Amino acid sequence: MDKDIADLKLDDVEKTAIQVHRNYSKAFQRRRAELIDEETSQLDFDYDHFELELCQLESASIENSILACIAIADELLKAMFLRDDRARLQIKALLGPLGPIGDFNKRLKIASLAGFIDENDLVFFDELRKMRNRIAHSTQPKPPKPSELEKISSISSEWLSALIKEGEILDNFDHNSPHVFRSLMLVQLSKLAWGTLLRPYAVKAQVPFEIIIEKQPSVFKKLSKLGVKRAINILSNK
């Protein structure tokens, strides 16, 4: 019996009933997670094209990589909304320039409110969006400011630690440097890619996202590997 249930001030019959209910609930959630893995593995996602986009980001100038990163992220969000293109919703019209989710900023915020992206996605790509706007609206674009690099590194500090550990990289470099910034863009993009494929299904099936990730669904493994591999490559060749 789980400790929190055992500690309840109830008789044994009541505790057993609560434990049985919890066990069945977990079993149903795990089965739903397996079904989500099966369903999302059949989705039309061009992994080769996504890998090519990551490769191009890896070699582009820092200013162009920011512009491209937001463009890719926007396409991922639009594709996510279009997968639920029920006739009554008229998703294509909603995504149009005059629609309520007609630009990246709106799509990002609505996706967050719907639970289709997490807080980390929202904060990271919102900060990157601000940089994109500054670059796009300048006649003489400048690279990110040190304060902007520091903010991105702070937002993705757990990812950076994981990359250093996974790649067995000697941690003797500036965490606020441009090459770290570029590596974090790649890994956050791959996270957004598998998140926009999996999270809407988790929300619909009312399954905690942690349970789905514990099952290591195929789209998660494929897309995570793509981003992590290239991010580690950047950090290893700094």
CA-closest candidate to residue 187, choices 153, 237, 211, 212: 153
Residue with tokens 């512009």: 67
Boundaries of domain holding 69: 46-236
Low-confidence ranges of the chain (pLDDT < 70): 1, 13, 15, 19-24, 85-89, 98, 238
52 vs 35: CA distance, rounded Å: 29
Domain contains 164: yes
Question: Does any domain span residue 223?
Answer: yes
Pairwise CA distance, residues 180 & 105, whole Å = 25
Q: Tell me if 60 is assigned to some domain.
A: yes
pLDDT reported for residue 226: 92
Using DSSP's 3-state secondary structure scheme, residue 56 falls into helix
**Which amino acid appears at position 192 of this protein?**
L
Q: Does some domain include residue 174? A: yes
In whole angstroms, give the CA distance from residue 238 to residue 177.
Answer: 10
What pLDDT digit, counting tens, does each position of 109-133 carry?
Answer: 999 999 999 999 999 999 999 999 9
Residues in the chain: 238
Look-up of token digits 């999996």: 198
Q: Give the other-Cβ count within 10 Å of 161's Cβ.
A: 12
153 domain-assigned: yes
Among residues 235, 112, 92, the alpha carbon closest in space to that of 175 is found at 235
* C-beta of residue 190 within 8 angstroms of C-beta of residue 226: yes
- The two structure tokens encoding residue 23: 């066990």
Supply 100's token pair: 């309520």
What was the pLDDT predicted at 98?
66
What pLDDT was estimated at residue 11? 77
Report the distance separating Cα 169 and Cα 232, nearest Å. Answer: 8
Note the pLDDT of residue 175: 85
In a domain, 32, yes or no: no
The answer to the question of residue 31 being in a domain is no
pLDDT of residue 170: 73
Is residue 42 within 8 Å of 222, Cβ to Cβ? Answer: no
Question: What single string gives the DSSP state of each residue in 156-192?
Answer: THHHHHHHHHHTT----S-TTSHHHHHHHHHHHHHHH
Instruction: State the CATH number of the domain containing residue 214.
Output: 1.20.120
Q: Could you tell me the pTM of the whole model?
A: 0.86
Does the residue 2 lie in any domain? no
Closest CA to 112 of 200, 45, 185: 200
Pair 198, 43: CB distance under 8 Å? no
**pLDDT given for residue 100 in this prediction:** 73
Q: Domain count of the chain?
A: 1
Cβ-in-10-Å burial (0-12, 13-18, 19+) of 177 comes to middle
Place of tokens 């590997």: 225
